[in-house]
Chain A
């Protein structure tokens, strides 16, 4: 026969300060735990949202990233003329032959330099990436030294505002538009005309070819055709899959680092819970003896203290998750080591992360409560009563 839950909750409430301090320790750990998972989630969402499932990205075999890839004009033309490529309303293939270059720009505020992706794109680029919308100014004119800048770049880097001139690739470029890429990785890029970029950076080869599939099921055919064509040294990936892979290393690093920290901190929090619960058992020894005398079984006492410990953990968990959810307002930028460029992303709280965090908190409480609860349950009734 269990004691009512209100009995446990009120006992926690009766020791407000101790409960608050212990739960506060738990909250801190849960905060770290949740924010790490949120960071990982935000990174994945950003990079996965960058690619479209109906687009294919063609790069040199085993290049891994666009920066490390080269595709010469002849090969790009072969790809462009494949029958799996969708055609635009004007009958031209929906293809963007792109060149990707990293340059170093100074950040606003602190002013330290950081790498930024410059992407030379073809005329179909905006059609291929419908999530990219011009929000200020206009798009660049083909054949000109005009560029458009992602929202994330405009916010974080000096000299990238609308109308400003930027020097790179031994040329001066004019920012004629700002675009919003819906929180995807393109928000951290600068786009211009592909041919102009190649001239400026003295490139003769593209980095990648992006194309729209005329039918999403046509991808395996395209993949086979490109890989078996003896003239070609390229491979095709679905754009969505490509960007998901790009996030893998960083996401895994964040996860492992964060979870390791959480586990180490949690040892402290568990010990805190254990001390609190031992004190609670000691203070309530006569109470335990009384309950047992009245006919409550050892199991009820054990359960009561375990429930109390779990409730303590959950109280910390709720505070920790609430604090973590405030982190959703923060945008963070960091180096993505796979593309060697800066990428901006936010903390994303999902129901799954909430459940995992509360589960983690409850587990910390439970683990901290086991030994004290066992001590409470093992007390002999007369000894417990004599403690009054």
Chain B
């Protein structure tokens, strides 16, 4: 395995529900190498999203250490963490999470508003990213004018626009039909193979998991097996 981009040691997380404490992750260790494409699988409620959110810096663990690209992100203060996310993480969501009032190009451009880039540069980069996902002719379309698969491709363009260290995807094909899901997976495989992007993808779809380089199974708050995808 390459140098780990993500290094997790003794990670624990529990939620409080009513008066009860529900443990979700317990003493979890995991390394993810640079350039890897991991499918994170497991039964519903096993803590896949929770783990992904913690790695992406939008949720906090109760215990344990978590280094991403050498940064101990658990220690960052909120505002620093937000800046860190803007630089290092690309997000892909199950329901695309595009801004309905912004066009495809504006949605893709959104993360660049947090960079010092000027308007012209931002536009050019957004157009480039949209052509990379095959939507050069949909720049000025609003999300409501696009199919689910097209919306997810816009979201992928948004996720790669800042050239992040790590792309996290939570059930990216969960809301798509088989054909559209296949296209999205093709795109992610290409991002990984051609652009060398490190990707962590939560999925419960065996077909999706097969496209990844390796599969991690999460069960009862622990990593059960790590297998290389066939």
B-contacting residues of A (Cβ < 8 Å)? 1, 3-4, 7, 10-11, 13-14, 286-287, 289-298, 381-382, 385, 388
Contacts and interface: CB of A to CB of B under 8 A. Distances in A.
A3 B110 CA distance: 9
Given A385-B93, A388-B97, A294 B58 contact: no
B91 A294 contact: yes
A293 B85 contact: yes
B93 A381 contact: no
A62 to B, nearest CB: 67
Interface stretch (B34-42, B64-72, B99-107, B202-210): B99-107
Given A290-B93, A388-B94, 6 more contacts: A13-B101, A290-B99, A292-B82, A293-B91, A295-B111, A381-B53
A10 B101 contact: yes
B121 interface: no
A360 B86 CA distance: 38
The DSSP consensus for interface residues of chain A is helix
B113 A3 contact: yes
A388 B58 CA distance: 16
B124 to A, nearest CB: 17
Nearest to B95: A388
A7 B99 contact: yes
A295 B95 contact: no
Interface of B: 53, 56, 58-59, 78-79, 82-83, 85-87, 89, 91, 93-95, 97, 99-102, 110-111, 113-114, 158
Contacts of A294: 85-86, 91, 110-111, 114, 158
Of residues B87, B94, B113, B114, which shows the largest number of chain A Cβ atoms within 10 Å of its Cβ?
Answer: B113
Of residues A3, A289, A296, which shows the largest number of chain B Cβ atoms within 10 Å of its Cβ?
Answer: A296
Contacts of B78: 298
Contacts of A287: 97, 99-100
Given A1-B113, A14-B101, A292 B58 contact: yes
A381 B58 contact: yes
B25 to A, nearest CB: 14
Contact of B79 (A7, A10, A290, A297): A297
A295 B85 contact: yes
A382 B53 contact: yes
Of residues A291, A298, A385, which shows the largest number of chain B Cβ atoms within 10 Å of its Cβ?
Answer: A385
23 contacts: A1-B113, A1-B114, A7-B101, A10-B101, A287-B99, A290-B93, A292-B82, A293-B58, A293-B85, A293-B89, A293-B91, A294-B86, A294-B111, A294-B114, A294-B158, A295-B83, A295-B86, A298-B78, A381-B53, A382-B53, A382-B58, A388-B93, A388-B95
Nearest to B109: A4
Contact of B82 (A13, A296, A385): A296
Contacts of A4: 113
B99 to A, nearest CB: 6
A297 B78 CA distance: 9
A10 B144 CA distance: 14
A287 B98 CA distance: 8
B111 A10 contact: no
Contacts of A11: 101
Contacts of A381: 53, 58-59
